[in-house]
Structure 1
Amino acid sequence: MAREAAPRRRPSPAMAMRWALLVAMAAAAGAEDPYRYFTWNVTYGPISPLGTTQQGILINGQFPGPTIECVTNDNLIVNVFNYLDEPFLITWSGIKQRKNSWQDGVAGTNCPIPANGGNYTYKFQAKDQIGTFIYFPSLALHRAAGGFGAINIRQRPSIPVPYPPPAADFTLLVGDWYYAAGGHAELQQSLDSGAPLPFPDAVLINGVPSGATFAGDQGNTYLLRVSNVGMKTTVNVRIQGHSLRLAEVEGMHPVQNIYDSLDVHAGQSVAFLVDLDQPAMDYAVVVSTRFNADGAPPLVAVGTLHYNGATARAPGLLPAPPPEDIEWSMNQARSFRWNLTASAARPNPQGSFHYGTIPTSRTLVFAGSGLVVVAGQRRYAVNGVSFVIPDTPLKLVDNYNIADVIEWDNVPARPDGRAPRQGTPVVRLNLHEFIEVVFQNTEDEVQSWHLDGYDFWVVGYGNGQWTENERPNYNLVDAQARHTVQVYPNGWSAILVSLDNQGMWNLRSANWDRQYLGQQLYLRVWTAEQSFSNEYSIPTNAILCGRAASLQH
């Protein structure tokens, strides 16, 4: 049963006026960070990634969408016009949205941009982040039709990165792809009818299965930014005749280990350096799916690393994938280590925050279920609760104290064995808590989990059922920080999170069929002390819908 939220104290008019005056003074003094403005028109349009025309979702006529290039702390103003015939939202995956979950772009925080010309302007800051991120549509199965793109955040001149400047960098948006004559609506209808998504039809690199080319000069070093924008499948990335030097993991600098290939799971991003130190030829850039269900053969996409001036392809077969072995992939994941001496987005080392010495305030164990029948429908769930999107975004419900929508703390802290049920759960947490979260996988496929608004430390991976006895094996010194973590079949992954970002934040499966059918929930990070230093007020341009439609800002 839903319980009414406790009343919230809002900043007084005097406080709001003081804040506005401070902002105006900062702007007048030239103290504000730079602004970058974008106008995006979202439309349907024909695309042919597999040689046969299908309906795609385009941004300014592009598939994939335009890349946002910016510098850490830039203010981003993205004016979106929705010319689809259905509501639309964009989420900014991995962008922390400091104090600003109002701009998160998911159904629990934002009303959709109305169809047929509706408009919303996102206003957010790439605050204290450097690295490789993505944006994508967050409603329905729009992601299966396009609407996604890259966000590359560069460092300010005063912030060094732990490698010499590359000659250039290249963005690789990779992932599985479905051909559906009826577009994303056909896939959505399939899920709504109770049928699981079939195995994908292809894997793409920047929207094509072959032909993507990345050109450079012999003797130079280049940075390749790779993001898995697919619906559900793990991919492996490798380059014929070249090694990959890991340089960045979702905005964090790792120890620069050398790899022959890298696994990138659904929703994840990595960047690596490649030295063009081979004879001047064309070399294959290979992306293939991993851990396919029912033993299906891998899907393969092939691009080209072109040495300028080359006239021939390198001889030999395409580089072979790594063993189809969970332990191999898990050991690679464990080898990702945080570079404690590298600068972060501020002029201090990444490792100056000693996460391993902080006591945790609570432990949450989240187990994703396979397809279960809930209220006569086949759904996915978290700890037995399958999330149903409410008619009013949870952020608005909380802000306006609207009763009987949110089910506070309705997801148990650990699986309790109760029958699967529907709900709209929000877990209440306190600002500045430090918590342990364990993701438990009891199925035979790789799962992937993402937390909006945060990075977290991945302190452990393991097989079987997690227990407290696993904690002595945690990496409490230099665990890799990231925003999306894979959970291997019949295994677990443990993370530590510092809850320093107030707001309503989506915790979801990054396997999009699971997310769509209920494998998600929300975390409400809150404090009774209402201050603009903790969280911004509702934007003046916020769209109000559902039970909040008649309310005033």
Structure 2
Amino acid sequence: MATSDPRFSLPLAWWWVLLLAAAAKLAGADDPYRYFDWTVTYGPINPLGTTQQGILINGQFPGPRIDCVTNDNLIVNVVNNLDEPFLITWNGIKQRKNSWQDGVAGTNCPIPPGANYTYKFQAKDQIGTFTYFPSVALHRAAGGFGALNVYQRPAIPVPYPAPDGDFTLLVGDWYLAGHDQLRQTLDSGAPLPFPDALLVNGMPSDIFVGDQGRTYLFRVSNVGMKTSINFRIQGHSLRLAEVEGTHPVQNVYDSLDVHVGQSVAFLVTLDQPPMDYAVVASTRFNPDSTSALTSIGMLHYSSATSRAPGPLPEGPETADWSMNQARSFRWNLTASAARPNPQGSFHYGTIQTSRTLVFASSPPVVVAGQNRYAVNGISFVVPDTPLKLVDTYNIANVIGWDSVPPRPDGGAPQLGTPVVRLNLHEFVEVVFQNTESEMQSWHLDGYDFWAVGYGNGQWTENERPNYNLVDAQARHTVQVYPNGWSAILVSLDNQGMWNLRSANWDRQYLGQQLYLRVWTPEQSFSNEYSIPTNAILCGKAAEYAH
């Protein structure tokens, strides 16, 4: 490209001076800051042809997409103009040393109506596809969710050529009933009905335009309430490129299962004749064969004049197919970026675990006259004071310390506010046991973990020889198959109070969650930041307000 910039005519010696000066400046510079002002309101939306009330951010449904670069500092000022408290959580962003910004009821007081809260956090050492969504009540069913894409710095290579473009797809189940009505349904003891539709970016379908011969990155996140999806493109292969912020071995698939709360990214080369091809998302693990929901979009070649012939691509049918696909996801050990902490080569399979926690879900149980979900017999009740504040100010009679048994013990179900105490830098095995015929999904805030094993039936120690202890996929949300189990290994290197929850939001709302308190007596900013000066104080912590 022609230019008249005088820097391009400098002698070679001056180039070295400029480069050294720039390097010195960068060495002392802070990471960039990006500022966002969001106003949350109710507003009319029309995703299914019928006007309903949605939750909008700056008037948008879905909410604004955040595009940033790894290590950027994000300053997001959220003004709550709803008529009830509101919170946003940042799904998959690890919040290094900073659970104060996690945006869940155990760490933050909800933003009162008419008030604001400014989130301040860093996309530290992360590259990939993430989301945000409302975390209290059932606001998630009304909108308020969006994409958060973290791109690599130019100096950080990723293990594939730069795509010719990328597409962000927020896929999820959707209800015509409002979030208040759905909440009343759960509070009355009834289950949520099967969803009414499957949306892609807030619409029944979407169109993606590209040029023949070029390659595009598709970022797909399941932002639904409770339903797994399968994604496929007619006549095209999907080359897996990223799983929840880490780089996998780039296996090629005809379709990909994406469970609630999960994100994947894959490369698609437009190597077919220039036509319009169907982009299909459909629900998985449906109650019966007639209840599947499907969204049919379009991959449009820019020179296309006709639609591709032939039937729509069929999705898989069995759970075994999905489990085998999950086992085929492997961590790319040669990739130079986007690894779980600690950074660099981490031989997790050679580290001795300090303890094993087996968390079993339960079918709906009646506790204190209510239908609830439980973990090892304890159904979580959200207190009026966030647990992080309770711990900080040593407030008594709120937390049930270690009240969840480390393994199911057959005890009578009961309500509680359980927090499991763990030490900073422990290396822990966690097994999620699904005792039901419903597909489940579990998410851990603040961490990536290694999904080392999946299986059917009841987990026992005899399953460990079958674990992948070399290159298991790292992720933040793991699916647990019907009447099956999933095992993870996690390095507890991020101090704070962290939510471990069902990503199926009806189950989370009715008690299938708990908190992990990762702590050390050696208090230091190198371990954890102090309480923010703008923290909202509520409940029993309100008296500590300045």
Q: TM-score normalised by the shorter chain: which range applies?
A: over 0.9
> For residue 250 of structure 2, what is the aligned residue in structure 1?
256
1:428 & 1:344 partners in 2: Cα distance? 31
Q: Where do 1:361-440 residues align within 5 Å? A: 361-440=354-433
> For residue 133 of structure 2, what is the aligned residue in structure 1?
136
Structure 2 counterpart SS, 1:331: helix
Q: 188, 197, 202: which is aligned to 2:192?
A: 197
Structure 1 contact 233–266 (Cα < 8 Å) conserved: yes
Q: Is structure 2 residue 310 aligned with structure 1 residue 312?
A: no
Distance 1:272 1:251, change over 3 A: same
> For residue 315 of structure 2, what is the aligned residue in structure 1?
321
* 1:309-347, Cα deviation, whole Å (9 max, x unpaired): 21211111111111x111110000000000000112489
**How many Å apart are 1:370 and its aligned residue?**
1.0
**How many Å apart are 1:276 and its aligned residue?**
0.5
> For residue 235 of structure 2, what is the aligned residue in structure 1?
241
Relative to the length of structure 1, the TM-score reads 0.93
* 1:138-174, Cα deviation, whole Å (9 max, x unpaired): 0010000000000000001111000000001000000
> For residue 57 of structure 1, what is the aligned residue in structure 2?
55
Q: Is structure 2 residue 523 aligned with structure 1 residue 523?
A: no
1:301 & 1:118 partners in 2: Cα distance? 38
> For residue 209 of structure 1, what is the aligned residue in structure 2?
204
Q: 81, 98, 122: which is aligned to 1:83?
A: 81
Structure 1 contact 447–511 (Cα < 8 Å) conserved: yes
Q: Is structure 2 residue 184 aligned with structure 1 residue 186?
A: no
Structure 2: runs of 5 or more not aligned: 1-23
* Worse overlay, 345-354 or 143-152: 345-354
**How many Å apart are 1:294 and its aligned residue?**
3.9
> For residue 506 of structure 1, what is the aligned residue in structure 2?
499
Structure 1 contact 82–119 (Cα < 8 Å) conserved: yes
Distance 1:31 1:96, change over 3 A: same
Q: 445, 448, 471: which is aligned to 1:478?
A: 471
> For residue 18 of structure 2, what is the aligned residue in structure 1?
none
Structure 2 contact 341–493 (Cα < 8 Å) conserved: no
Structure 1: runs of 5 or more not aligned: 1-25
Q: Which amino acid aligns with 2:43?
A: G
Q: Which consecutive segments of 4 or more residues in structure 1 shift more than 3 A?
A: 26-30, 345-351
Structure 2 counterpart SS, 1:478: coil
Structure 1 contact 367–382 (Cα < 8 Å) conserved: yes
* 1:338-397, Cα deviation, whole Å (9 max, x unpaired): 000011248999761110000000000000111000000000000000000001000000
Q: 442, 448, 463: which is aligned to 2:456?
A: 463
Q: Where do 1:32-71 residues align within 5 Å? A: 32-71=30-69
Structure 2 counterpart SS, 1:541: coil
Structure 1 contact 237–262 (Cα < 8 Å) conserved: yes
1:452 & 1:28 partners in 2: Cα distance? 31
> For residue 108 of structure 1, what is the aligned residue in structure 2?
106
> For residue 276 of structure 1, what is the aligned residue in structure 2?
270
**How many Å apart are 1:281 and its aligned residue?**
1.1
Q: Where do 1:220-231 residues align within 5 Å? A: 220-231=214-225
Relative to the length of structure 2, the TM-score reads 0.94
2:132 & 2:285 partners in 1: Cα distance? 25
Structure 2 contact 246–340 (Cα < 8 Å) conserved: no
Structure 1 counterpart SS, 2:331: coil
Q: Which amino acid aligns with 1:272?
A: F
Q: Is structure 2 residue 295 aligned with structure 1 residue 301?
A: yes
How many equivalent pairs are there?
523
Structure 1 contact 342–349 (Cα < 8 Å) conserved: no
**How many Å apart are 1:110 and its aligned residue?**
0.1
* 1:446-467, Cα deviation, whole Å (9 max, x unpaired): 1000000000000000111000
Structure 1 contact 150–171 (Cα < 8 Å) conserved: yes
Distance 1:141 1:45, change over 3 A: same
Q: Is structure 2 residue 446 aligned with structure 1 residue 453?
A: yes
* 1:430-480, Cα deviation, whole Å (9 max, x unpaired): 000000000000100110000000000000001110000110110000000
Structure 1 contact 339–350 (Cα < 8 Å) conserved: no
2:171 & 2:358 partners in 1: Cα distance? 31
2:340 & 2:529 partners in 1: Cα distance? 25
* Worse overlay, 414-423 or 340-349: 340-349
**How many Å apart are 1:27 and its aligned residue?**
11
Distance 1:33 1:114, change over 3 A: same
Structure 1 contact 502–535 (Cα < 8 Å) conserved: yes
Structure 1 counterpart SS, 2:446: coil
Distance 1:28 1:249, change over 3 A: closer
Q: 153, 158, 162: which is aligned to 1:161?
A: 158
Q: Is structure 2 residue 332 aligned with structure 1 residue 339?
A: yes
**How many Å apart are 1:298 and its aligned residue?**
1.0
Q: 288, 299, 313: which is aligned to 2:282?
A: 288
* Worse overlay, 343-352 or 227-236: 343-352
2:424 & 2:532 partners in 1: Cα distance? 21
Structure 2 counterpart SS, 1:272: strand
2:369 & 2:290 partners in 1: Cα distance? 30
**How many Å apart are 1:552 and its aligned residue?**
3.6
Distance 1:352 1:228, change over 3 A: same
> For residue 127 of structure 1, what is the aligned residue in structure 2?
124
Structure 1 counterpart SS, 2:543: coil
Structure 1 contact 395–504 (Cα < 8 Å) conserved: yes
**How many Å apart are 1:28 and its aligned residue?**
11
Structure 1 contact 203–288 (Cα < 8 Å) conserved: yes
1:346 & 1:101 partners in 2: Cα distance? 20
Structure 2 contact 246–339 (Cα < 8 Å) conserved: no
1:56 & 1:29 partners in 2: Cα distance? 45
Structure 2 counterpart SS, 1:549: helix
* 1:174-212, Cα deviation, whole Å (9 max, x unpaired): 0111111xx1100000000000000000101111112x1
Structure 2 contact 173–225 (Cα < 8 Å) conserved: yes
> For residue 97 of structure 1, what is the aligned residue in structure 2?
95
**How many Å apart are 1:30 and its aligned residue?**
4.5
> For residue 350 of structure 2, what is the aligned residue in structure 1?
357
Q: 513, 521, 533: which is aligned to 1:540?
A: 533
Q: Is structure 2 residue 263 aligned with structure 1 residue 265?
A: no
1:551 & 1:438 partners in 2: Cα distance? 39
Q: Which amino acid aligns with 1:531?
A: S
Q: Is structure 2 residue 172 aligned with structure 1 residue 175?
A: yes
Structure 2 contact 275–300 (Cα < 8 Å) conserved: yes
Q: Which amino acid aligns with 1:285?
A: V
